[in-house]
Structure 1
Amino acid sequence: MNHDRYDDDYIVDILKSVKVIALVGASPDPSRPSNAVMRYLQEHGYRVNPVNPGQAGKTINGAVVAASLADVDGPVDMVDVFRASQYLPKVVEDALAMPQPPKVIWSQLGVRDDAAAALAERAGVKVVMNRCPAIEIPRLLGEHAR
C-alpha cells in the first residue's frame, strides 16, 4: 500500500471498527501529545491501554500501564504508536507476536517506516502512518462520533 495518502473511507472504516487500543509510548504528563490523544480517544468511546515500560503498573488517565504489548491484558484492535520512527519495526514485531495480533497499527504524526508497514501488511494488519486519530476523528466522523 502507498502510505503517502489514504482514502478517507479507509480511515473511517478503521475508526469505526476499532474499540480497544494499545497506546505505545503513553506519557503520564498531561502536556505531552500521547497523554492528550489518549484522553481524547477515551472521551470518544475507545478503551485505551497505555504501554510504557517506565510507567508499568501505574495509571495514566485512569488506565493501568502495561510494560509492553505482551503485557497488555486481552486483545486489542489497534496499536497506536507514539515512538520515533526508528522504533516502529520493533513495535510491529511485538504487535505481530501478540496472541491475537491487532487489526491495525497506527503510527502518529512524523512516525513512518515503510519496511515495518510492509511487514505488518504481509501479516494481514492494516497500517496508517504519520496520522493522528484525534485529528482524523473530528475531520471524518464529527466531534461527537462513536
Structure 2
Amino acid sequence: MPELTQIKDIVNVLQTSKVVAVVGFHPDTTRPAHYVPEYLHRRGYKIIPVNPTLAGRHMTFFGHKAIPTLAEITETVDVVEVFRRSDKVMDHLDDILAMNPKPRTVWLQLGIRNEEFTQTLVQHGIQVIQDRCMLADHRQYL
C-alpha cells in the first residue's frame, strides 16, 4: 500500500469508506477537528470521535461518545483521520498498528505531514493520505 496522491485513489477512499475514527476530535464547532467530521457525518459517514479529554463525559457527538484511544474501538474502521500536529502523529502510531482489524487508510488532514509515520504505516499495509482535507476533497470530487 503506497501513500495515496492520485485523485482517483483519494476518490476511491471517499466512496468506499463508511466508518471514520477522528483522532484529535475537538468539541468547538468552529475548529476543523469538529466541522470536518460533522460535514462527513452529514454525508453519511459514521464518525467515532477519539479524544482522551472528552472520554467519559456525558456528551455525544454525531450519536457517539468520544473514546480515549483507538484501542477502545470495537468495530472495523475504514479511515483513521488525524487532526494532530505533524510532530505529534508518531504518538498514535502504536495505537493505529494495534487496531484489529487495521484501518485501510490513515488520512492526515491539511497541513499534517510526517514521512517516518507514513512509511511505517505503508510497511504495515495501511495506505496513507497526507496534507489533504477530507471535507475539501469530498466537496470537490464527489
Q: TM class by shorter-chain length?
A: over 0.9
Shift of 1:86: 1.2
Deviant stretches of 4+, over 4 Å: none
- Answer whether contact 2:47 2:62 (CA < 8 A) is retained: no
- In the alignment, which residue of structure 2 is the partner of 1:95? 96
- In the alignment, which residue of structure 1 is the partner of 2:87? 86
- Answer whether contact 2:80 2:105 (CA < 8 A) is retained: yes
Q: How does 1:1-146 map to 2 (within 5 A)?
A: 1=2, 6-57=5-56, 58-141=59-142
The gaps in structure 1 that reach 5 residues or longer are: 142-146
- Select the structure with the greater relative contact order (CA < 8 A; seq sep ≥ 6): 2
Shift of 1:60: 2.4
TM-score normalised according to structure 1 size: 0.90
Percent of matched pairs sharing the same residue: 35
TM-score normalised according to structure 2 size: 0.92
Please provide the CA RMSD for this pair: 1.4
- Answer whether contact 1:78 1:105 (CA < 8 A) is retained: yes
- Answer whether contact 1:106 1:127 (CA < 8 A) is retained: yes
Aligned residues: 139
- Answer whether contact 2:3 2:128 (CA < 8 A) is retained: no
Aligned-partner Cα distance in 1 for 2:104–2:96: 10
The gaps in structure 2 that reach 5 residues or longer are: none
Shift of 1:92: 2.7
